[in-house]
Structure 1
Amino acid sequence: MVGLIKAAKMGSGSSPCASCKLLRRRCVMDCIFAPYFPPDDPQRFALVHKLFGASNVSKLLQELPVNKRGDAVSSLVFEANTRIRDPVYGCVGAISLLQNQVSRLQMQLEQAQAELMSIQMQQHLQNEISDDKSLVLAATINLHQYLNDFAASTANLIIQDPLKTESLWT
């Protein structure tokens, strides 16, 4: 609020606001444009005036509450700048371009998430296979141990009584 009062007082001082300067009129104390179009940025008002006209902007600002006027002027300036760059579509063209970029980025994000999920699944499967390999290795070691024990016990039987061995094989 203090900034608005300072800007309004600037309009009534030695330097008129940008709109009064462009329109070549005396800037009064309660100039509707002074708080939003300071004298050090005349191009800002010139763009808005060219597209909307000073009378229309004045009417629009007078109909709005004071706390909404700054946002309205920012929107008017943005629209005027985008109309200079794109006379046909203006803001709509800029918004459409941004929406397309958002859509492309969302697709890229979904692809990245799918790839991440695939990598996580591969890691999980590798961990399970690694665990299975460990189980197979342990079972193989146990089997070898069992066979070694069996071979050792069979060898002991053969050494102790070779005739009893025959009954083991039949």
Structure 2
Amino acid sequence: MVGDAAQNPASSSSSSIRGGEQTSCSSAIRPRGSRVCAACSHQRRRCPPDCPLAPYFPACKRGEFLNAHRLFGIKNLTRSLASIEEEYRDDFMVSIIYEANARAADPAGGCQSTIKSLYDQLRCSLAELRFVNQQLAFHRSRHHEMQLAAAMADFGPPLQPARRYDGPIPGRVSIGPRDFSEAQSLVISRGFACTDSGAAVPFCSDGSLKSRSVKF
């Protein structure tokens, strides 16, 4: 968890190293030729003015130095620090001290335990964020529906869509093929048939129409 990471002893190192100066251990900032750093004190030697580890391991940070020394070694720290550009050295040493303190606090897990804890918290936070967004979308949609219903109530009930009418049409009689044949035989038996214009035309006995003589 983030709160657990804040309680990690390695977190205090990040606040003490910025710009090559000590903030949380200001009393340990030594003038030249004064108190030796934790690295030189561990090696029982005089601390030179240009000691590369002095800004990061003052005398009051002996515990952090021992953690870094056990995990990386003084030679590796000095060699790695010299191979990095000066503008990135502070960030490099913050990472080194953090990892060393995390390994000292949890020899089995080290930084992995902290990373896993932060990842689990991030995953839970993302799941909670997705749930909140779903709830917001649901309530916004519901609010929009309520506003639409209130607006429709001011204009009366909504119009119903037109339905297709399949029933009988008044004034018309629907007949089938059988009814048509019976009506045709009845007309033929009477000797007349109706044309499209409504005029009666006489039939012959064989059922054909009689021809009319047209006078000009």
Same fold (TM over 0.5): yes
Which residue matches 1:96?
Answer: 116
What is the CA-CA distance between 1:96 and the residue it aligns to? 2.1
> Does 1:57 pair with 2:77?
yes
Q: Write the distance in 1 (CA, Å) between the matches of 2:43 and 2:123.
A: 44
Change (3 A) 1:75 1:5: closer
TM-score normalised according to structure 1 size: 0.69
Q: Aligned match of 1:121 in 141, 147, 160?
A: 141
Q: CA deviation at 1:4?
A: 4.4
The 8 Å contact of residues 20 and 90 in structure 2, kept in 1 or not, is answered as no
Deviation at 1:36?
A: 1.7
1:15 aligned counterpart, secondary structure: coil
**1:129-144 pair list within 5 angstroms:** 129-136=149-156
- In the alignment, does 2:88 pair up with 1:68? yes
Question: Shift of residue 132 of structure 1?
Answer: 1.8
CA distance in 2, matches of 1:132, 1:109: 35
1:21 to 25, 41, 46: 41
Paired residue type of 2:48: V
Identity %: 31
Tell me the distance in 2 between the aligned counterparts of 1:19 and 1:95: 29
Tell me how far apart the structure 2 counterparts of residues 77 and 55 of structure 1 sit (CA, whole Å).
15
Structure 2: which amino acid aligns with 1:54?
A: I
Larger Rg: 2
How far apart, in 2, do the equivalents of 1:70 and 1:126 lie?
Answer: 59
Number of aligned pairs? 135
Partner AA of 1:36 in structure 2:
Y
- Alignment CA distance shift 1:11-1:30 (3 Å): farther
Query: Is 1:86 matched with 2:68?
Result: no
Cα separation, partners in 2 of 1:101 and 1:15, compared to 1, 3 Å: same
Deviation at 1:12, TM superposition (A): 4.3
Deviations, residues 7-61 of structure 1 (Å, cap 9, x unaligned):
9x93742200111122222111221211221223222212211221112111111
Return the alpha-carbon distance in structure 2 between the equivalents of residues 117 and 124 of structure 1.
11
TM-score (norm 2): 0.56
Structure 2 residue identity aligned to 1:75:
S
Q: CA RMSD in A?
A: 2.6
Aligned to 2:130: 110
Q: Gaps spanning 5+ residues in structure 2: where?
A: 1-18, 158-216
The separation in 2 between residues aligned to 1:29 and 1:11, in whole angstroms, is: 9
Structure 1 unmatched ranges of 5 or more:
138-170
> Matches of 1:41 and 1:11 in 2, distance apart?
17
The whole-number CA distance in structure 2 between the counterparts of 1:85 and 1:37 is 19
Correspondence 1:32 to 2:52: yes
Counterpart of 1:84, as a letter, is A
Letter in 2 for 1:79: E
On the 8 A contact 1:10/1:34 being kept in 2, the answer is: no
